[in-house]
């Protein structure tokens, strides 16, 4: 019961992750290259107890028409790298209970099963720079990713139901991406699948429920 369009919109608006991801201290986009690649700087944790910031560069690949899927691949840039596509990368900062974690590898795939159903698979390897056993770290990471997927689904539903939320305002503002780039691809995909969409709403967006 989650529209494809808003599922993509929630994951696209990286700077709004703090709206729905718990313990997100901050998130900013260091550099975006076209619509498919970006480098982001974010921090998660509880101040004074444990906080980790992270640099993550991610590329997206649209394979919807051929495979019905959207792919993401990412990793933290090398620590000796000072710039990324001419943008300065924030240097590593260390303090009490604060350090930089590294994403060694991130691979994700979203399969679009129906107008209002998706399946997501995530494989991620993270170095939190903590002196804890790897088995314990993997145990917690698996559960954190599961929580992330539940919250992602819940936020996509909230965005679909609330035209006054921050994500909908971002959609209205970024017409170059949502109206001119994403929406035509969205229509091509659902038409290729033979799915029926109701009339668009006043903002030119898909209805809150894409299923007829």
**What is the predicted pLDDT for the residue at 87?**
97
Structure confidence by residue, pLDDT tens digits, 179-210: 999 989 988 998 999 987 665 554 445 554 44
End-to-end CA distance of the chain: 13
Judge contact between 70 and 63, C-beta under 8 A. Answer: yes
Q: Which residues pair with 102 in a beta bridge?
A: 127
**What is the predicted pLDDT for the residue at 57?**
97
The pTM of this model reads 0.87
* H helical segments located in 23-133: 64-67
Work out the pLDDT band at 211, boundaries 50, 70, 90.
very low
Structure confidence by residue, pLDDT tens digits, 146-169: 999 999 999 999 999 999 999 999
How far apart CA 89 and CA 92 sit, in angstroms, is 9
The angle at the Cα of 174, spanning 199 to 77, to the nearest 5 degrees, equals 125
Is residue 54 predicted with pLDDT exceeding 70? Answer: yes
**What is the predicted pLDDT for the residue at 124?**
93
Q: Is 149 helix (H, G, I), strand (E, B) or coil?
A: helix
């Amino acid at each position: 019961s989650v529209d494809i369009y808003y599922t993509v919109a929630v994951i696209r608006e990286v700077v709004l992750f703090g709206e729905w991801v718990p313990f997100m201290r901050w998130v900013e986009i260091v550099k975006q290259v076209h619509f498919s690649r970006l480098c982001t700087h974010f921090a998660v944790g509880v101040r004074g107890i444990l906080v980790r910031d992270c640099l993550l560069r991610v590329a997206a690949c649209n394979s919807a028409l051929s495979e019905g899927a959207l792919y993401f691949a990412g990793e933290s840039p090398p620590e000796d790298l000072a710039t990324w596509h001419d943008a300065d990368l924030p240097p590593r900062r260390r303090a009490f209970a604060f350090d930089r974690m590294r994403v060694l590898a991130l691979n994700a795939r979203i399969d679009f099963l129906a107008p209002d159903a998706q399946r997501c698979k995530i494989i991620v390897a993270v170095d939190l720079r903590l002196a804890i056993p790897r088995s314990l770290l993997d145990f917690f990471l698996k559960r954190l990713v599961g929580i992330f997927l539940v919250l992602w689904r819940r936020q996509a539903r909230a965005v679909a139901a609330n035209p006054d939320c921050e994500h909908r305002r971002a959609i209205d503002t970024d017409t170059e991406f949502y109206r001119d780039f994403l929406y035509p691809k969205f229509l091509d995909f659902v038409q290729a699948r033979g799915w029926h969409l109701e009339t668009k709403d006043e903002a030119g967006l898909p209805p809150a429920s894409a299923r007829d």
